[in-house]
Chain A
Amino acid sequence: MHEMSIAESVLQIIEDTARAEGYNKVKAVWLEIGQLAGVEKESLRFCFDVVTRDSVAQDARLEIIETAGQGWCMECACNVAVTARYEPCPSCGGFRIVVTGGEEMRVKELEVE
């Protein structure tokens, strides 16, 4: 998707929390990004480095935890793994799958001082 907007939103969350919690330096940032969230990880790393320059998060280590895609197959009536939206159900081969997980984009944790 547009990793620059996402990196800027991450920095805003970090800066808001920095004001509320009173820290001056962020050493590491943990993001949770779903497999189906449409985020290119390498591009996000590049954008994160650019937007955090001269901020509390300058030189912070970016850790990306990828969560697996999950769906509900309406034919099989069970949970199935979904690695991409256009893929068929691994057991019945059908496409009537409703995605139930793997779309999240969250800032989980920060290591600060």
Chain B
Amino acid sequence: MCTTCGCGIGQTLIAGHAIQRPRKPGGEMHYRVRGEGMTHVHPHGHIHDPIDSGAGPAGTHAPGMSQARMVKIERDILAKNNDYADQNRRYLSAHGIFALNLVSSPGSGKTTLLVKTIEALNGAQPLAVIEGDQQTDNDAARIRAAGAPALQINTGKGCHLDAHMVGQAMQQLDLQDDSLLLIENVGNLVCPAGFDLGEAHKVVILSVTEGEDKPLKYPDMFRAAAVMLLNKCDLLPYLEFDADLAVEYARRINPTLRVIRISATSGEGMPEWLEWIATGCRNTVAAKQLVA
């Protein structure tokens, strides 16, 4: 287990079932087409290397002499995750699906905001939700109660969703063409910043009950996000939180960050957020038609 954040492997569950976690990269991903059964592939990568004593740099072997050599690799450490993310992104764009990765600390009001967003869209916009939490199915149940299909990924000891988990969840969800996919990441402002899931944008949620300087304390996440939702703004009169300062700090990290002041409870800022989503959905569908 990681001594920094406690993350580990082997305990990831999607809707309560163990994830298929290949040690080696798989072949093409196969998604369930609406109305069809599940398809799957068995990747087989066998390379049998003979013992070749002449494979050293000198092309020969002398007893007792070292065969040490240098191998240039130059590979990105997160390349495997990025490959899965690219597969997800290709699938999403080919199907006109606008995907958002919602990230924040625990307790910023992500799930409540999602529930209110789903209620406001009120069936007018087809959507699905992937919920990431270490344990429990509570959040997916809340989303389903709000009327949207939702799948829960339990990361066990893991501190973030990765592109492979999301790809598997996408296969299990019956994603509609030209829809919206909302991915609620594990509540954590550190690790999810580094893991591309194939989403169009990361949306970071900061609530006014946290500190104004959180963007400075956790800069990677605010840098990776395209939008910051400043949530629980209805509580501002009761707090000493300086909203302008929080926005200034966030823009120090990310000068192009779009900020929407919002309250899931009072509805303040919701029209701007919904309009931003609608624009994203329209553009994604238009881009798909352009390619087709």
Contact = CB atoms under 8 A, between A and B. Distances in A.
Interface string A14-48: 00110111110001000100000010100100110
B68 A109 contact: no
Interface residues on B, range: 35 or more
A112 interface: yes
Most chain B CB inside 10 Å of its own CB: which residue of A6, A12, A46, A74: A12
Interface in B184-209: 190-191, 193-194
A50 B72 CA distance: 24
A99 B160 CA distance: 24
A4 to B, nearest CB: 4
Given A46-B3, A113-B66, A86 B78 contact: no
Interface string A98-113: 1100001111111111
B87 interface: no
A12 B50 CA distance: 21
Contacts of A38: 190, 193-194, 220
B70 A111 contact: yes
B49 interface: yes
A53 interface: no
Nearest to A33: B77
A106 B75 contact: yes
Given A1-B193, A38-B220, 19 more contacts: A2-B7, A5-B191, A6-B77, A6-B78, A13-B75, A17-B71, A17-B73, A22-B52, A47-B3, A74-B255, A85-B253, A86-B216, A88-B252, A104-B76, A106-B76, A107-B73, A108-B72, A109-B71, A109-B73
14 contacts: A3-B3, A5-B7, A6-B78, A20-B47, A38-B193, A43-B3, A86-B215, A95-B252, A95-B253, A98-B255, A107-B73, A109-B72, A109-B73, A110-B71
